Amino acid sequence: MHQENKTVLFMLLIKELIKSKGLKATPQRIAIYESMRKLGHACADMVVDDLRQNFPSLTVATIYNVLESFVEVGLLVKRFSLNHKMYFDINIHEH
């Protein structure tokens, strides 16, 4: 399978996953979830930095709200670092 086909398939899987949780699968939500899959765990600022080139209009507030909505439906969990900074984590199981 070509890389382009794998990318399209992966995007469709993300879209269906988001929709299965009752959320609208907007391009921004898909990009934010894809960014979290790549980063593993991140704060909203890190996701902004990752997406800035392709989505320059996305704000930290928008990304934070989307990340929070992902937590509410079980796609992500919140974790706190030793310095009490909050991160979002794609690994929803305890570790």
What are 86's strand-pairing partners? 80
Confidence label for 9 from pLDDT (cuts 50, 70 and 90): confident
DSSP secondary structure letter of residue 15: H
Counting residues of the chain whose pLDDT is more than 90, the rounded percentage is 66
Rg of the chain over CA atoms, in angstroms?
13
Residue with tokens 């898909």: 30
Residue 2 has pLDDT above 60, yes or no: yes
Report the pLDDT averaged over residues 60-77.
96
What does the pLDDT read at residue 84? 85
Residue 76 has pLDDT above 80, yes or no: yes
Residue 83 has pLDDT above 90, yes or no: no
pLDDT top residue among 91 and 21? 21
Query: Is the pTM here over 0.85, yes or no?
Result: yes
SS3 state of residue 79: strand
The three-state DSSP-derived secondary structure of 30-65 is: HHHHHHHHHHCEECHHHHHHHHCCCCCCCCHHHHHH
State residue 22 phi and psi, 5-degree precision: 85, 10
